[in-house]
Amino acid sequence: MEAHTAGRVTAAPRGGAVSGIRRLATETKQAFKTTEFWAMVGAIVAIVIAGAIDDGFAARQVWLYVTIVAGAYMISRGLAKSGSSEPSTDELHHNQH
């Protein structure tokens, strides 16, 4: 029996125990394919629009908030990618034979 889940292939013998896991892809998506990226873009657009409309919202505050949102996004992407690694081509070639 073979089950495909989230880019992983697991082979289970008749007893039901998993005999091995082979990694096919990384766990993280490309940045522009994530919900967090589009949420950041939306937040930055909203901040810039609010800064253009509201006279009490100074340009200095707008850029401060844009910087905070972008920095938080970069930190979250770094944390997401810290637990995953790209398999080397040597490992892939060796495992295929």
Residue 13 is assigned to a structural domain of this protein: yes
Query: Could you give the number of structural domains in the chain?
Result: 1
Residue 20 is assigned to a structural domain of this protein: yes
Residue 95 is assigned to a structural domain of this protein: no
Strand, helix or coil for residue 75: helix
Mean pLDDT, contiguous 10-residue spans, the chain (97 residues): 47 54 63 85 95 91 96 88 63 56
Give the domain extent around 35: 2-84
pLDDT of residue 1: 43
Residue 45 is assigned to a structural domain of this protein: yes
Burial of 57 (0-12, 13-18, 19+ CB in 10 A): middle
Compute the Cα dihedral for 74, 36, 21, 16 and give only its sign.
positive
pLDDT of residue 21: 61
Give the pLDDT confidence of 34-55 residue by residue, as tens digits: 888 899 999 999 999 999 999 8
pLDDT of residue 38: 92
Alpha carbon distance 77, 31 (integer Å): 8
Residue 68 is assigned to a structural domain of this protein: yes
DSSP per-residue string spanning 13-43: -TT-----EEE-S-SSPPGGGSHHHHHHHHH
Alpha carbon distance 30, 32 (integer Å): 6
pTM greater than 0.75 (yes/no): no
Residue 30 is assigned to a structural domain of this protein: yes
